[in-house]
Amino acid sequence: MEKIKIAVLGSTGYTALELLKLLRRHPAAEVVAVTSRENTSPIAEVHPSLTGQYSICCENLKPQDLKARGVQVVFSCLPHTATAAVAPELLDLGMKVIDFGADYRLNDAEVFNKWYNVVHPDPDRLPLTPYGLPELFREEIKKSALVANPGCYPTSAILPLAPLLKGDYIASDDIIIDSKSGVSGAGRKPSLKNLYPECNEAISAYAVGSHRHTPEIEEVLTTASGKAAKIIFTPHLTPMDRGILTTTYSKRLNDATQEDLLAYLRDFYAGEPFVQVVDALPSTKDVIHTNRCHLTVRVVGSRVMTISAIDNLVKGAAGAAVQNFNVICGFDETTALL
């Protein structure tokens, strides 16, 4: 199999580490560049678990440098807005780009500017960029050279909710989403709230009513279902390394039973390798280190509840990116993924 040359931009964080692990076992992937604006160490020193797997060093490279190395696909793990500053040049040079950040997840530049407090550097490309959930937008992803990798919280909420909205089983104007994430979701940059004495033996809500994933979830649910979705989203920091458990509460629209809804969801995701509709209540431990989402549904009085579990670093980030890589390059979607 001919190798595809790959660059990873912003290679020092947790999602980049997870990505490099996955690409190492991909038969068609050859990582020829890993970048950092400050670090010039071997990538195996930055991430000791890669010892013996990669011999390349971090470099501060520009798009022309990547082109000179024959890079064909760029995975960008850069901070928000940094990818949009370089993506146009990368695309003009013939490279495909999978962006881990939020730069291209929203269609409306004004909405982006409001939630991220910055003027978007590449606004015209926003409505043209597919959202990287193949389970919902596979055909659009196949045709695109730029893919907006989903947020981790949005993935855990959209996968169970979008089918139920599309099938008119739940109301779109009153959706409550409660999510709990491991500490790795906050990234590798040191901060007080992520120190072990601060977060161990504690669980806490944050960004109540103001989390930046709110407009992303609403927009994608609206696009996928055709219903104008309005949500209340509350994330929580949980004292574990990785994983997301999301519970949603929606108004029930008809007399469909729990068994009916489970059957509907199984039919909706039939043939999808990474979404399992389960009878038992999902646990993060069941999906750790996999690209899988376990989800289920419960009917409680006038409400429909969904519960889903993903690994925030895999299905919520690096695994989704490799899944999108497989889609845009024409490989079997499960290649290198569990």
Give the pLDDT confidence of 134-179 residue by residue, as tens digits. Answer: 999 999 999 999 999 999 999 999 999 999 999 999 999 999 999 9
- Burial of 148 from C-beta contacts in 10 A (0-12 / 13-18 / 19+): buried
pLDDT category at 12 given cuts 50, 70, 90 is: very high
Please give the mean pLDDT across all residues of the chain. Answer: 95
| Cα 244 to Cα 273, 291, 310, distances in angstroms | 19, 12, 5
The span from the CA of 108 to the CA of 91, in Å, is 21
Position 4 pLDDT exceeds 80:
yes
pLDDT of 188: 64
Q: Which amino acid is at 310?
A: I
Position 196 pLDDT exceeds 90:
no
Local structure of 252: helix, strand or coil: strand
pLDDT of 190: 65
Position 73 pLDDT exceeds 90:
yes
pLDDT of 80: 85
The span from the CA of 20 to the CA of 32, in Å, is 11
pLDDT of 184: 78
Over residues 198-214, the mean pLDDT reads 89
- Burial of 243 from C-beta contacts in 10 A (0-12 / 13-18 / 19+): buried
pLDDT of 52: 95
Q: Which domains are seen in the chain, by residue range?
A: 4-129 (3.40.50.720), 152-312 (3.30.360.10)
Angle at 126 between CA 124 and CA 127, to 5 degrees: 95
Select from 177, 154, 165, 136 the least CA-distant residue to 225: 165
If you search the block for the tokens 């290679």, which residue do you land on?
Answer: 11
* Percent of the chain whose predicted confidence (pLDDT) is above 90: 91
pLDDT of 329: 97
Select from 244, 257, 245, 255 the least CA-distant residue to 298: 257
Local structure of 219: helix, strand or coil: helix
Position 200 pLDDT exceeds 90:
no
pLDDT of 140: 98
pLDDT of 195: 74
If you search the block for the tokens 């509840």, which residue do you land on?
Answer: 305
DSSP state of 317: I
Question: Known catalytic residue: 152?
Answer: yes
Over residues 275-281, the mean pLDDT reads 98
Secondary structure E strands in 100-252: 146-148, 170-181, 204-205, 231-237, 244-252
The span from the CA of 7 to the CA of 127, in Å, is 25
- Burial of 14 from C-beta contacts in 10 A (0-12 / 13-18 / 19+): buried
pLDDT of 192: 66
The span from the CA of 8 to the CA of 61, in Å, is 11
Q: pLDDT digits over 314-338, tens only? A: 999 999 999 999 999 999 999 999 9
Which of 57, 58, 77, 152 is catalytic? The answer is 152
* Percent of the chain whose predicted confidence (pLDDT) is above 70: 97
pLDDT of 97: 98
